[in-house]
Structure formats: structure tokens, C-alpha cells
């Protein structure tokens, strides 16, 4: 055992990062959203960094894991999962219910724990790579491509938050013209050639019109629509019929595997999910019922980079397509996403990323998309460095918050504009 690889210290830093007023079926993004930055410090003096969700329910699990980790090796990633099973225990959000964000499907203690462990796994891989002088992709078996394609993630949005928050110059996007203008700016600034529209915000015909406007503005380019399960089976089939041949896939039109299977049986349009299948236990039923043709990986959901590769192998075996989901995240996670995506031969679609919406970061040099792609870093570890001043400033914001922003709640944020707003029942249309 190389003692240089032993973990001496683990630091957890919860932060609040600015988020624009992006709309989804639950409500609107808060002005600030929590993230957790994980640092593992080895006996050899190397610090590895990772990032995951920062809501209190995740912090509750991250804390015991951080206390149990010192003395273990950053190379003992299988042991990390066993340790998490042992020390994390049940969280207060362990019951089966839709989470506060409501966009992730059924929430379980297992899923929460995997999301927490993902941040630690990435930090360990970063430290291991830095110690060995190898990029993270090499620790995953090596890259099969030199750059990874991302799609432009379009949102209906307001020009500004009703209360507080940082201002930006995007303006509102609440109709097809606004959505197309947003896509043009994404294409100009980042070179994206494929686009996903977050739907479930307006009634389905309005969103069909927005997708058609995109198809006209970007002929032949891949498009996706994702209402986060807001539609009934009947509405989903109507939209699928309207957009067959226009979309490359329709993401979570209806909620739950049974409803998705019904939709799937009635359309030739591929269905994708990051809601009804986000854990291995949910795979058999979904595959047996042919409920989804594309699975969205997300290393935060599936428990890290190695588990993402395991998911990819299962998808390959069953002939199911693989794409990548994203939530609000910073540059550490984007680096991790890019490393794992570079190693997966069957990553068949451009990956989602919220990153272009994030104006704040905790790394010293922001990632730059060129022609809609990120170059895969070959420097040891993840290839990103922590900006400690920025980390301290964003942590200070978290400390100063009275608690309202520390757990993401899109419905509560919506009530700032519409006091009567309640989370819409599913199906909404
Ligand atoms: O289904 C998805 O792709 C997401 O839920 C991604 C994000 O969470 C997005 O919907 C959001 O943040 O509003
Ligand atoms: Mg989705």
C-alpha cells in the first residue's frame, strides 16, 4: 500500500451559486442554488476535488462519510461505496417521494447516498490521478475521443428574478422567438449544434410551436424536448405525433415507467429518461416494457464515474441509447462529466449541461466550448484547479443565507412572483 495515497483530511464546503430565473414545470430556479465542494487531502500532500448537490439532505450524508474516510486510500473506490452504506444511514429524505426539485422522479435513500458518494469518488479520482501523473480518463480505462460534444440547454426564462439575484443580459424567453434567439446566442457563443428545450412550462401546443421554430431556424440539427413528466399519456402521444421526425428524442413526456411504456408503444419517436430510471433497480422493468430507448446518465445520480461506465455497458448490452443529463453544476462536475464521456464508446448523443447558464465558478479557469465541444484534458487528475478565494466568497454567501436558499425549491421561488403558486399536479396537461 502506497501511504501517499492515504486520506488524511476531507473538507466539505457548501456554497450558494447564482442561478438565472429558468422555468420548469415545478416553478422557477431560485436566485441562488446550493452545491457542495468536496476536497480530499492525501498523506502525499495532494488535494483532489469533487462537486455534488449541496442541499441539507445531501450534507447530512456527506458529513459522516467525510469523518469516516481518513485513513483509507483514494484508490479504494469499491471500499468507498461500502463505507457509505455503512456510515450514511437513512437520511431524513429516505421516504419514496418526489424530491423538492420534483424533477428527478422518485427519491430514495439509495439515490441520495449515491449522489453524495459521486462527489467523493470524483475527488478521490482527482487525487489519484494527480498522484500518479495520469488524467482521470486514463484511470477509467482511457479516452476513446479527444473532445466531447454538448448540446445547448434552452429554457423558457424571465429577464430577472422577482426578488434579488444577479442580473444578466439574456432577457426573457417566453415564446418561440425568444427560444430561437436564445439558441442563436448559444450557437454563436459556444458553437452548439444540437439543442434541448426544457418544457412542461407552457401548454403543449406552445412548446410544439417553439420546437418547430427551432427546427426551422436550425434545419436538420438534433432537437430534444423535456417536460419532466408533466403530460398525460394522451398528451404525450399527441406531442409525439406532432414532433415525430422533428425531435431526435422526447425526454420524460409522462411520469413513471408504466406511463412511459404506454407512450412508447404508441409512437416511433425514441423516448429518453432521467426520471423513471435513475438507479439500477429501475432498469429491468423499464427495459422489459421497452419504456425508454435512451437513458440519460448523470454521474451524480448513478454514483460516480465508474458506475456511469457500468451503466453504459448495460445500455450497450440491451441496445439502449445513452445520453447525459445535467442539473445546475460548476466546472468541477463539468470536468468529471467530460472525462467519463470521453471513455464511453456508446455515448450516442451530445451531453446536456447547464454550465453556460452559470456565471460563477470555483475553478481558476472556466471551461470553454468550441464548436459545441469540450477538449478532453490530458493533465493529471481532472485538469481543473480550485480558486480558493471564489470558494470562500460563495461559502460566505451560504453562511449568510437565512436558510431559504440552502435547499432548492423551485415552487417556493415561483411564489415570489405568484403567491398562489403550488407545485402542479402530475400530469399537468
Ligand atoms: O430532466 C432534466 O433534464 C432536468 O431535470 C434537468 C434540470 O434539473 C432542469 O430541469 C432544471 O434545473 O430546471
Ligand atoms: Mg430530463
- The kind and range of the H/E element at 32 are strand 32-42
CB 322 within 8 A of CB 344: yes
The pLDDT score that the predictor gives to residue 95 is: 52
**Domain residue spans of the chain:** 3-136+387-400, 138-375
Burial of 184 (0-12, 13-18, 19+ CB in 10 A): middle
Average pLDDT over residues 43-70: 97
CB 21 within 8 A of CB 71: no
C-alpha cell at position 360: 460563477
Residue 145's CB is within 10 A of a number of other CB atoms, namely 15
Average per-residue pLDDT for the chain: 96
Phi, psi dihedral angles at 128 (to 5 degrees): -65, -45
- Judge if the beta carbon of residue 198 lies within 6 A of ligand 1: yes
Domain at 3-136+387-400: CATH architecture: 2-Layer Sandwich (3.30)
Checking if the pLDDT of 214 tops 60, the result is yes
Residue 423's CB is within 10 A of a number of other CB atoms, namely 17
For the entire predicted model, the pTM comes to 0.97
Output the CA 354–ligand 1 centroid distance in Å: 9
Which ligand 1 atom sits closest to the C-alpha of 252?
A: 1
Strand order in the sheet with 47-53: 7-18, 32-42, 47-53
* Per-residue pLDDT tens over the stretch 372-390: 999 999 999 999 999 999 9
The pLDDT score that the predictor gives to residue 227 is: 98
- Range list of β-strands (E), 254-399: 271-273, 294-297, 321-324, 373-375
> Could you give the residue ranges of the DSSP H alpha helices within 296-427?
299-302, 305-318, 331-343, 388-400, 410-415
DSSP 25: T
Q: Is 111 a catalytic residue?
A: no
Output the CA 187–ligand 1 centroid distance in Å: 20
**Protein residue whose Cα sits closest to atom 3 of ligand 1:** 325
Q: Is 198 a catalytic residue?
A: yes
**Protein residue whose Cα sits closest to atom 13 of ligand 1:** 24
Residues 6+ apart with CB under 8 A from 45: none
**Protein residue whose Cα sits closest to atom 8 of ligand 1:** 327
Confidence of residue 92 (pLDDT cuts 50, 70, 90): low
Confidence of residue 297 (pLDDT cuts 50, 70, 90): very high
| Spatial distance between the Cα atoms of 308 and 116, rounded to a whole number of angstroms | 15
Average pLDDT over residues 212-228: 98
Which ligand 1 atom sits closest to the C-alpha of 274?
A: 1
The pLDDT score that the predictor gives to residue 91 is: 55
Average pLDDT over residues 106-116: 90
Instruction: Tell me if 3-136+387-400 shares its fold with 138-375.
Output: no
Average pLDDT over residues 121-131: 98
Checking if the pLDDT of 305 tops 60, the result is yes
Output the CA 397–ligand 1 centroid distance in Å: 24
138-375: CATH topology is TIM Barrel (3.20.20)
- The kind and range of the H/E element at 95 are none
Amino acid at each position: 500500500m502506497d501511504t501517499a495515497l492515504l486520506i488524511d483530511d476531507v473538507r466539505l464546503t457548501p456554497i450558494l451559486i447564482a442561478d438565472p430565473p429558468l422555468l420548469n414545470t415545478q416553478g422557477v430556479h431560485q436566485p441562488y442554488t446550493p452545491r457542495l465542494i468536496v476536497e480530499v487531502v492525501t498523506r502525499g500532500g495532494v488535494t483532489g476535488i469533487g462537486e455534488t448537490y449541496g442541499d441539507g439532505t445531501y450534507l447530512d450524508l456527506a458529513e459522516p462519510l467525510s469523518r469516516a474516510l481518513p485513513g483509507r486510500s483514494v484508490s479504494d473506490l469499491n471500499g468507498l461505496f461500502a463505507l457509505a452504506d455503512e456510515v450514511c444511514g437513512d437520511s431524513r429524505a429516505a421516504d419514496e417521494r418526489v424530491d423538492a426539485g420534483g424533477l428527478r422522479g422518485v427519491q430514495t435513500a439509495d439515490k441520495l447516498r449515491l449522489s453524495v458518494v459521486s462527489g467523493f469518488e470524483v475527488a478521490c479520482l482527482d487525487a489519484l490521478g494527480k498522484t500518479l501523473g495520469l488524467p482521470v480518463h486514463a484511470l477509467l480505462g482511457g479516452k476513446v475521443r479527444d473532445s466531447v460534444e454538448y448540446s445547448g440547454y434552452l429554457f423558457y426564462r424571465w429577464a430577472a428574478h422577482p426578488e434579488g439575484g444577479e442580473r444578466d443580459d439574456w432577457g426573457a424567453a417566453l415564446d418561440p422567438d425568444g427560444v430561437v434567439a436564445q439558441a442563436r446566442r448559444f450557437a454563436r457563443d459556444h458553437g452548439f449544434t444540437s439543442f434541448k428545450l426544457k418544457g412542461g412550462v407552457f401548454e403543449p401546443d406552445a412548446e410544439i410551436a417553439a420546437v418547430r421554430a427551432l427546427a426551422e431556424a436550425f434545419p436538420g440539427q438534433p432537437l430534444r424536448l423535456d417536460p419532466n413528466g408533466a403530460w398525460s399519456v394522451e398528451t404525450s402521444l399527441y406531442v409525439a405525433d406532432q414532433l415525430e421526425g422533428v425531435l431526435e428524442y422526447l425526454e420524460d413526456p409522462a411520469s413513471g415507467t408504466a406511463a412511459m411504456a404506454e407512450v412508447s408503444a404508441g409512437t416511433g419517436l425514441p423516448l429518453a429518461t432521467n426520471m423513471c430510471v435513475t438507479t439500477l433497480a429501475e432498469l429491468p422493468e423499464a427495459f422489459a416494457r421497452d419504456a425508454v430507448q435512451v437513458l440519460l446518465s448523470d454521474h451524480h445520480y448513478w454514483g460516480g464515474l465508474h458506475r456511469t461506465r457500468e451503466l453504459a455497458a448495460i445500455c450497450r448490452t440491451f441496445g439502449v441509447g445513452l445520453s447525459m443529463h445535467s442539473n445546475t453544476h460548476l466546472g468541477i462536475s463539468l470536468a468529471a462529466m467530460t472525462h467519463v464521456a470521453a471513455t464511453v464508446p456508446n455515448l450516442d448523443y451530445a451531453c446536456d449541461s447547464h454550465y453556460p447558464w452559470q456565471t460563477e465558478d470555483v475553478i481558476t479557469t472556466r471551461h470553454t466550448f468550441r464548436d459545441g465541444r469540450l477538449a478532453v484534458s490530458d493533465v493529471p487528475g481532472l485538469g481543473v484547479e480550485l480558486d480558493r478565494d471564489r470558494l470562500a466568497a460563495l461559502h460566505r454567501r451560504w453562511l449568510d443565507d437565512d436558510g431559504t436558499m440552502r435547499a432548492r425549491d423551485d415552487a417556493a421561488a415561483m411564489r415570489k412572483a405568484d403567491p398562489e403558486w403550488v407545485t402542479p399536479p402530475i400530469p399537468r396537461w
